[in-house]
Amino acid sequence: MAEKVDVVVIGAGAIGCSIAYYLAKEGIKVALLERESFGSGSTAHATGFISLLGTEFTPGPSFQFGLDSYHAFPKLVEELESATGMDLLYQRRPSLRLALEESEEKLIKEMMVWQQEHVAMHWITAAEVHELEPRLTPSLIGAVYEDESAQLDSYRLNLALGAAAEKLGTQTINRKVTGLISEGNRITGVHTDGEDVLCDTVVVSAGLWSPEFQKDLNFPIPVGALKGERVLLKYAGDPLQVLISSPKRGHMISRLDGFLSVGSTGGRDYDQDQLYQGEDMDRVTTETARLEIMQRAIDVFPDLENAELVEQLAGSRPLSPDRVPIIGPVPGKEGVVLATGHTTKGIHLAPATAQVVTEYIQGGCKQVPSSIDLFLPARFADLTNADFQSAGLEVDE
Ligand SMILES: Cc1cc2nc3c(=O)[nH]c(=O)nc-3n(C[C@H](O)[C@H](O)[C@H](O)COP(=O)(O)OP(=O)(O)OC[C@H]3O[C@@H](n4cnc5c(N)ncnc54)[C@H](O)[C@@H]3O)c2cc1C
């Protein structure tokens, strides 16, 4: 039997590693259990776009959570880079969300009505877009220009969080958690494919594999898989100075390592047949996705016809039925917290998630922070059949 720890965190993705790091900073003794390796789940596939503009945030606490997390990044990145010596390829840049069709213009302008109250942004005409970036397609209607957006390398973030947590005393154990140990209604540790690990609190942050623990908890953890593919291109021209996205054509971002990230498939404008609805990660890249991503990219930035494909990535996102993360205690159980189902926003929301989970655990798991009322697992108490198909078609990218 391993030594008892304060907290067991299941899963070393962006969510699990940030929780381990935030807990360790408070002097809490953590065991981080991972069945494969750091970043082997969804996190390594993510673009690392930290943007407030999509449809994933709704007015009120949802947007506030996104904003708080966005604001946490500069300090977090500085801390991690100084603790680990790694470069997270973090860039703070304005972004342009482009409308190429009237439906996109309508969607963007409707959202601006309430988003403008929280973040500086304004609508610019096609001519103004071309002043900023003349290489974009002439057939643009316009764009929203927004100042608060960023991007980093999500895999490097994952590794740096894990390494920094270890430096602060977190013990990484490369084992699969095979079940939760209970005493009455209290979870007291985990079984693994090796020794058991005992603890005061278990955090389930196993991404799209989190449903494996619903039986032990006798409570639904509805997380499905939503496949996404993207590509990295080598483009000889100057890098884009703004982070670009559009509701129907995804993102286009010049990364700090010189590659251009373009994608991603999955969600609102992607062929329903391609929407992966399995229980596991789909890492298979497809020609259909590559052709579609390239066509969409060339529609926005015609000179990409001359770009060279460097890498194609495929992975799945941990999709929740309402596309909103699942964070907080499980009704009727003690000693367990869920932090999963972050869908398309798990990188962006990692710091804010870690902050609230740490606050809750530090307070003896007595008071749930009001900022996560919207995310509580209790909303799924009566769920029998989650509709992942509809949920998947609603996400932005
Ligand atoms: C193509 C694509 C683009 C994306 N772009 C963005 C983006 O730009 N911005 C953004 O914010 N998000 C983006 N996302 C979403 C983001 O990747 C996810 O929301 C996020 O990575 C989820 O992190 P996680 O830690 O919950 O899950 P994961 O990264 O999947 O980590 C879960 C970990 O748990 C481990 N695990 C599972 N079961 C067990 C077990 N029984 N025992 C021990 N370990 C276990 C797994 O091995 C894995 O390492 C994108 C996703 C994709 C696929």
Write down the domain spans for the chain: 5-46+156-220+322-394, 91-147+224-319
Q: Ligand 1, atom 48: nearest CA belongs to which residue?
A: 41
Radius of gyration for the alpha carbons in the chain, expressed in angstroms and rounded: 21
Q: Which atom of ligand 1 is nearest to the CA of 229?
A: 1
If you measure from the C-alpha of residue 137 to the centroid of ligand 1, how many angstroms do you get, rounded to a whole number? 33
Q: Which ligand 1 atom is nearest residue 228's CA?
A: 1
- Which residues touch 178 (CB under 8 Å, ≥6 apart)? 190, 191, 192, 193
3-state secondary structure of 19: helix
- Contact 289/232 with Cβ under 8 angstroms? no
What is the structure's pLDDT at 53? 85
Record the pTM. 0.97
Cβ pair 336, 217 in contact under 8 A: yes
Q: Is the dihedral of CA 17, 20, 25, 29 positive or negative?
A: negative
In 3D space, the residue among 141, 143, 139, 137 whose CA is nearest the CA of residue 94 turns out to be 143
**How far apart (Å, rounded) are the C-alpha atoms in residues 341 and 319?**
5
Tell me which residue of 88, 80, 48 sits closest to 161, measured CA to CA. Answer: 80
Q: How far is the CA of 238 from the centre of ligand 1 (A)?
A: 32
Atom of ligand 1 nearest to the CA of 17: 25
Rounded to the nearest angstrom, the gap between the alpha carbon of residue 176 and the centroid of all alpha carbons in its chain is: 22
CATH of domain 5-46+156-220+322-394: 3.50.50.60
Question: What top-level class would CATH report for the domain 91-147+224-319?
Answer: alpha beta
The answer to whether 396 and 54 have CB atoms below 8 angstroms apart is yes
Are 196 and 181 in contact, with CB atoms under 8 Å apart? yes
Two domains, one topology: 5-46+156-220+322-394 and 91-147+224-319: no
pLDDT in tens, the chain (397 residues): 557 999 999 999 999 999 999 999 999 999 999 999 999 999 999 999 999 988 889 999 999 999 999 999 999 999 999 999 999 999 999 999 999 999 999 999 999 999 998 899 999 999 999 999 999 999 999 999 999 999 999 999 999 999 999 999 999 999 999 999 999 999 999 999 999 999 999 999 999 999 999 999 999 999 999 999 999 999 999 999 999 999 888 999 999 999 999 999 886 555 666 667 777 889 999 999 999 999 999 999 999 999 999 999 999 999 999 999 999 999 999 999 999 999 999 999 999 999 999 999 999 999 999 999 999 999 999 998 888 888 887 777 6
Give Cα 281 to chain centroid, integer Å.
15
| Pick from 220, 270, 208, 212: nearest CA to 386 | 220
What does the pLDDT read at residue 392? 81
Give residue 346 CA to ligand 1 midpoint distance, Å. 7
Token digits of residue 173: 């154990």
Q: CA-CA distance, 182 to 162, in Å (whole number)?
A: 28
Q: Which residue among 9, 42, 181, 342 is best mutated to probe the pocket of ligand 1, counting the most ligand atoms within 8 A of its Cβ?
A: 42
